[in-house]
Amino acid sequence: MEIESGTAKVNGTELYYEIGGTGPTLVLISGLGQNALAWNTVVAAFRKDYRVLVFDNRGTGRSAVPPGPYSIDQMADDTAALIRHLGIGPVAVVGWSMGGSILQSLLIRHGDLLRAGVLLNALPNYTKVQHYWLDGLIALRRSEAPPEAKVALSMPWAISSLVLADHERTAEWVQHVLANPWPTTNNGFEAQAAGLRVYDSLPHLGQVSTPALVLVGADDVLTPVAQASQIARAIPGADLEVMGKGGHSMVLDYPQDVHRIITTWLSRNDPASR
């Protein structure tokens, strides 16, 4: 399968992207500090039925790292500009974690570019606990702790307890994270984080008219079911699905289940997927 890759100068920055596969276009938006590699457990499966676009948000991977802070609306405008630059709209979009915040901004402000949206382990706004978590994570990233320790200490917020209890598998994930050839700098991470922690979609979600699925894992302690429910209640006609297993990183823990749920929903709600 041929995968096209390149960089695009859009919205005042430069974004790295990869696109490939057969079928209607599906865009995958990564979370805080993550790049396109975050989707490696599911991207090949999606490419069997979709032309899939993955990219590095500003501040991560092979994209530019302009001075921060960034805003969620700014990163949504980046995404919209990339879709227009590639001439691939309207598209279906899956946004994971901060990518879900970016998708909410797209739904609110660029609905003409979207056929359907899947909000995966997403949040409408930051809670006190999420502020505490982010403050701690930034301090940990700035510290001189060993790289393995930094990753391991962040994992209980991301991985379900069932998976975390398998220390062999967890150790493999630590090494997998550390093997990322394009790690996010502290400057890029903190520039994204500054926008994420002040974003609040709730006052505007009532104007969304795009079909939407809010998908969350029952074991997600970082963006829990209660926050997914808030989003689903606020978007007219949105569907809420709670996967019976899986934490915030259930794309990594249970990729086949996540892929199945998303493609099944898209087949029923995305006109181009039917």
Mean predicted confidence (pLDDT) in 42-54? 98
Which residue's structure tokens are 């393995």? 148
Strands 212-217 and 114-120: parallel
Q: What does the DSSP assignment read for 154-165?
A: HGGGTS-HHHHT
Q: Which CATH number is 86's domain given?
A: 3.40.50.1820
Mean predicted confidence (pLDDT) in 62-84? 99
Mean pLDDT (the chain, rounded): 97
pLDDT value, residue 145: 95
- Give the burial class of 6: count Cβ atoms within 10 A of its Cβ; 0-12 exposed, 13-18 middle, 19 or more buried: exposed
* pTM for the structure as a whole: 0.97
Query: Side chain identity at 200, as an amino acid letter?
Result: D
115-160, pLDDT tens digit by residue?
Answer: 999 999 999 999 999 999 999 999 999 999 999 999 999 999 999 8
Interatomic CA distance for residues 188 and 117, integer angstroms: 26
pLDDT value, residue 107: 99
Interatomic CA distance for residues 225 and 238, integer angstroms: 15
**Would you state the structure tokens that stand for residue 169, as one six-digit string?**
């598998």
Residue 140 sits at the vertex; the CA angle it makes with 121 and 254, to the nearest 5 degrees, is: 30
Q: Give the rounded percent of residues in the chain with a pLDDT score beyond 70.
A: 100
**Would you state the structure tokens that stand for residue 179, as one six-digit string?**
């093997």
150-195, pLDDT tens digit by residue?
Answer: 999 999 999 988 889 999 999 998 998 999 999 999 999 999 999 9
pLDDT value, residue 1: 78
Which band of pLDDT confidence, cut at 50, 70 and 90, is reported for residue 274? confident
Domain, as residue range, for 183: 3-273
Domain count, the chain: 1
Q: Are 251 and 37 in contact (CB under 8 A)?
A: no
226-235, pLDDT tens digit by residue?
Answer: 999 999 999 9
Q: Give the rounded percent of residues in the chain with a pLDDT score beyond 90.
A: 95
Q: Are 231 and 223 in contact (CB under 8 A)?
A: no
pLDDT value, residue 163: 86
